[in-house]
Amino acid sequence: MLAITVQTESGPALARPSADELAALLRRIGGDDDHFAVAERIPGADQVFLQTWRDGAGPFAVEHRDGGPDRHFRAECADAGAVAEVFLAWARGTESWQTALDWRPADLYSTPGLDAQTRAAAEERARTDIRTGFWTAEEVAQGLCDAFDPDETPVTVEQARRIVAQLWQERLAEQAQWPAQTDPDRVARAFGALASQGLTALMNFTCCGSCALSEVAGERAEGDRGFVFFHYQDTAAAADGHGLSIRYGAYPDSGADSAAIGRAVTAALAAVGLPVAWDGDPTKVIEVTPLRWHKRLPSGR
């Protein structure tokens, strides 16, 4: 068995495959909904992987990374058997894979065909989503594609991924300078405590207040007497430096009081050291301000 995991487009990750299983998996790459394979070592190491992408019967694009973006290399190969041998050698820790292909530094960030104005607008949109800290890189890239009119200013998935990849690395460099515990960490701790107190506690829940209020009961656990949440727009506002609005209430059939729920929420937020502004009126949201929204990015790619 090989000490790697392999993630494909078509299914769950395959752990510790045999050499024959890995070779068979790679030979099928290129089919519908089966365009890529990403191999990572066991135990895993940050930003160390070998991956390939193929469309139909075209050549394999093979990439490996051994650390940051400056250690990311790319090659092309039309021979499925040769690609399989590279993966096998990499998985076994032998050195032959290093010279088996014509590895060249990968161009990870350029977006040929995308005009400068559209690129600038796309970067601003991507930065906003990245700053929230809740979305994966792939989710940010897909949201970027959806944000532009495909008939007027199209941004392809590949262009979006390249834009996001550069900004993602910049954010990772920023967060390396953050303190061990940040304000969003404290928010998460408070929400964990509220969940243990019989509240449906949801962070970054749905697009807006109306949708959240109509859907929160669907997330209710047995015994929950009320709810507390903030939605996408609240998160974006916090990431822009405007503080965080916390919304709460009692379920009508619980016999609980919304004001009591509000007091429980403010107590939990204060207990983790967050500044809370609320006058006790159950019709008003609870504001956590001032707040530095330094939420670390999700792990993975």
Contact status, residue 205 vs residue 229, Cβ threshold 8 Å: yes
- Do 16 and 39 belong together in one domain? yes
Copy the structure tokens of residue 205: 């829940």
- Do 149 and 226 belong together in one domain? no
The count of domains in the chain is: 3
For residue 300, is it within any domain? no
- Do 32 and 79 belong together in one domain? yes
Q: What is the pLDDT of residues 148-192, one digit of tens each?
A: 988 888 898 889 999 999 999 999 999 999 999 999 999 999 999
Q: Please state the three-class secondary structure of the chain as a single string.
A: CCCEEEEECCCCCEECCCHHHHHHHHHHCCECCECEEEEEECCCCCCEEEEEECCCCCCEEEEEEECCHHHEEEEEECCHHHHHHHHHHHHHCCCCHHHHCCCEECCCCCCCCCCHHHHHHHHHHHHHHHHHCCCCHHHHHHHHHHHCCCCCCCCCHHHHHHHHHHHHHHHHHHHCCCCCCCHHHHHHHHHHHHHCCCEEEECCCCCCHHHHHHHHHHHCCCCCCEEEECCHHHHHHHHCCCCEEEEEEECCCCCCCHHHHHHHHHHHHHHCCCCEECCCCCCCCEEECCCCCCCCCCCCC
Whether residue 55 has pLDDT greater than 70: yes
Averaged pLDDT of the chain: 94
- Which residue among 105, 135, 167 closes a domain? 105
Span 77-84, average pLDDT: 95
- Which residue among 175, 206, 226 closes a domain? 175
For residue 295, is it within any domain? no
- Do 261 and 211 belong together in one domain? yes
pLDDT given at position 150: 84
Q: What is the pLDDT of residues 250-266, one digit of tens each?
A: 999 999 999 999 999 99
Contact status, residue 294 vs residue 184, Cβ threshold 8 Å: yes
- Which residue among 175, 196, 213 closes a domain? 175
Q: What is the pLDDT of residues 194-245, one digit of tens each?
A: 999 999 999 999 999 999 999 999 999 999 999 999 999 999 999 999 999 9
Whether residue 120 has pLDDT greater than 90: yes
Cα-flanking dihedrals φ and ψ of residue 190, to 5°?
Answer: -65, -40
Q: What is the pLDDT of residues 99-110, one digit of tens each?
A: 999 999 988 899
- Do 164 and 69 belong together in one domain? no
**Of 40, 59, 42, 55, the residue nearest 101 (C-alpha):** 59
For residue 21, is it within any domain? yes
For residue 242, is it within any domain? yes
pLDDT given at position 300: 54
Span 45-54, average pLDDT: 91
Contact status, residue 109 vs residue 141, Cβ threshold 8 Å: no
**Would you give the end-to-end CA distance of the chain in angstroms?**
25
For residue 297, is it within any domain? no
For residue 110, is it within any domain? no
- What CA dihedral angle connects 20, 105, 160 and 167, to 10 degrees? 120
Residues, the chain, total?
301
- Do 23 and 97 belong together in one domain? yes
For residue 264, is it within any domain? yes
Structural domain span for residue 217: 183-288
For residue 293, is it within any domain? no
